């Protein structure tokens, strides 16, 4: 398998920046990994906080233990600022992933030639 294809697949299927590390582009790979990791941690933290809030409301009997009520609470639980932060983190993660795939493929082709 060509190095460019291998690097692009690693960045696309495993995590952004892995392909750069394979191509010995350590600084680019580290920046992509760190950016994607920060965005991913923001997403996971926000979702976890929202889940704990919903669990607390179920335990305190504010909402009934029914799938419909819990689903409604989940869909209505984001506020404006939280939604903006989560959407920004998702966009940053997606952009990092896309840049990781395209740039590692481009660098791999350049190293092959």
Residue 64: predicted pLDDT = 78
Q: What are the extents of the domains in the chain?
A: 3-112
Q: Which residue has the tokens 């983190």?
A: 89
The whole-model pTM stands at 0.80
Q: In terms of Cα–Cα distance, which of 24, 1, 12 is closest to 99? A: 12
Tokens coding 41:
């941690």
- Angle, CA 12 vertex, CA 96 and CA 97 arms, to 5°: 10
Output the tens digit of pLDDT for each of the chain's 113 residues. Answer: 888 899 999 999 999 999 999 999 999 999 999 999 999 999 999 889 888 888 888 888 777 777 777 777 777 766 667 788 889 999 999 999 999 999 999 999 999 88
- Quote the distance between the C-alpha of residue 105 and its chain's center: 20
Residue 18: predicted pLDDT = 94
Coil, strand, or helix at residue 21?
helix
Number of H helices, E strands in the chain: 5, 0
Cα–Cα distance for residue pair 11/6, rounded to 1 Å:
9
Residue 34: predicted pLDDT = 97
């Amino acid at each position: 398998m060509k190095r460019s294809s291998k690097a692009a697949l690693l960045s696309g299927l495993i995590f952004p920046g892995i392909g750069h590390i394979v191509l010995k582009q350590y600084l680019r790979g580290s920046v992509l990994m760190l950016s994607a990791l920060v965005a991913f941690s923001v997403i996971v933290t926000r979702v976890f906080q929202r889940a704990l809030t919903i669990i607390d409301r179920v335990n305190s009997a504010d909402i009934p233990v029914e799938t419909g009520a819990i689903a409604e609470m989940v869909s209505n639980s984001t506020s404006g600022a939280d939604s903006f932060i989560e959407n920004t983190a998702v966009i940053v993660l997606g952009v990092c992933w896309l840049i990781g795939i395209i740039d590692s493929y481009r660098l791999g082709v350049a190293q092959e030639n």
